[in-house]
Each structure stands twice: as C-alpha cells, then as structure tokens.
Amino acid sequence: AQKVTQAQTEISVVEKEDVTLDCVYETRDTTYYLFWYKQPPSGELVFLIRRNSFDEQNEISGRYSWNFQKSTSSFNFTITASQVVDSAVYFCALSEARRGGSEKLVFGKGMKLTVNP
Amino acid sequence: GAGVSQSPSNKVTEKGKDVELRCDPISGHTALYWYRQSLGQGLEFLIYFQGNSAPDKSGLPSDRFSAERTGGSVSTLTIQRTQQEDSAVYLCASSLVVRAGLGYTFGSGTRLTVV
C-alpha cells in the first residue's frame, strides 16, 4: 500500500526565513510519481512540482527547491526567503505509474505554513 | 472552460437528504477524478473516470455514494441519505490523459455541510 507522511502539521515563520517541509513516502512500486501541491485559503489545489521516481536530480524554481532522496524515501520542499503569500497548506502526494492504472494521488495530511510579516 | 468548474460551491443539507455535486472538467480532458477533503481524513481519492467509464471506484466510502459522467465531460457525484460524516470539501480534478506527469487541474471544490 502507498502512504505519504508529512510529520509537521503546522509551521509558523517570519518573512524572509527559509523553511523546509518534510515528506516521507512508502510504496512497493518501482515506478511512481511524487508531487507537491499548494492550497491557499481560496481552497484550490495548485500544482507545484512532479518528480518521476527515476529522476533524483534536485530541482530549483525561483525560491522553491526540492530534494528527492530514494535512499530515505523522502521528497522535501524548501522555500527560501519566505513571503507572506507563501502562507498556505502544502500537500505532498504519491501516484503509481502503472500502465492502465488510474494514477490516483495518495496525499499526506498536509502542512499549514504561516508566514508572518 | 478555462478551468475545472464545480457547483455548487457550498451546500448545506439536512441529514438523510440526497445531494448532487457537479464537476465541469477542462474541455477535452478525458480523465476525471473526485477527491474528498475532510478534517479527520485529509485528502482521499473517491473515483476515477476515463471517458464515461469508471475503472476505479475503490475510494467510494459506501454504497450511498455514486458518480456518473456523461458525454465524456460533466460528472455528477451523488450522495444518498447524507450523514454528518459526509461533511467535507469535495474536489474534482481533470487531466488531458491518464499521465500523472501532465498533472491534474483541480477545481475549487464543493463544501458540503450535513446538519
């Protein structure tokens, strides 16, 4: 069975601080996808990144960076120089990638980030 | 349309009544998913459609829940004899094809409150 664990439930930081959101996953699949989604107060889930299980290269996009380590089954997300607009609930998710599968997402419980001015 | 549209955005219903939630996916998206977000359970998968068929219904919590999709487009999630534990935000997502790499687009959800 697949499982995603986000151990932190809530973090509060002051603007410009760096913050790392942890994500640990479990799966028996050899091919899978990992995702991060952002859910601002408006409620809509916003796609941030997808990572294929064969691609362990870290990725940076502006102030966002992701660290994928298969050895520890982790896919951590770092926001550098946080801003108030980063305040949201962040979800890590896992999907199988089998041919003919539904590729439904298994989500972590989410982590609420509050960035204070 | 430009995005995934869900209606109503909010629904309050009495326990025991039936409700219908609607999802209009992005035009041309063949894959459609329903998820439920509740305080106790987080985000859970309910059902997946490929075209009009639903090859994966494994997340539907009971036989009070059903869904259909017509014309490969609009989908309706029906909850019969609603219970208080059905209170949640119901999210719909669509994807051009079943390729997780392309990502899903989520709607803003329907907040269902059963009183």
In percent, the amount of chain A with pLDDT more than 90 equals 70
Q: Is B70 helix (H, G, I), strand (E, B) or coil?
A: coil
Token pair for residue A83?
A: 């801003």
The beta-carbon neighbor of A33 closest among B35, B44, B101 is B101
Quick one: pLDDT at residue B98? Answer: 61
Q: CB B108 to CB A43 under 8 A?
A: yes
Quick one: pLDDT at residue A39? Answer: 94
> In angstroms, what separates the C-alpha of B56 from chain A's closest C-alpha?
7
Chain A, chain B: beta-carbon pairs less than 8 Å apart: 57
Q: CB A97 to CB B43 under 8 A?
A: no
The beta-carbon neighbor of A97 closest among B44, B50, B100 is B100
Token pair for residue B45?
A: 């998968």
- Model pLDDT for residues B10-60, shown as the tens digit of each residue: 999 999 999 999 999 999 898 999 999 998 778 999 999 999 999 899 999
In a 13 Å sphere around the CA of B48, the CA atoms on its Cβ side amount to 20
B100 contacts chain A (CB < 8 A): yes
Quick one: pLDDT at residue A57? Answer: 83
Residue B16, C-beta contacts closer than 8 angstroms, at least 6 positions apart? B81, B82
Higher-confidence position of B62 and A104: B62
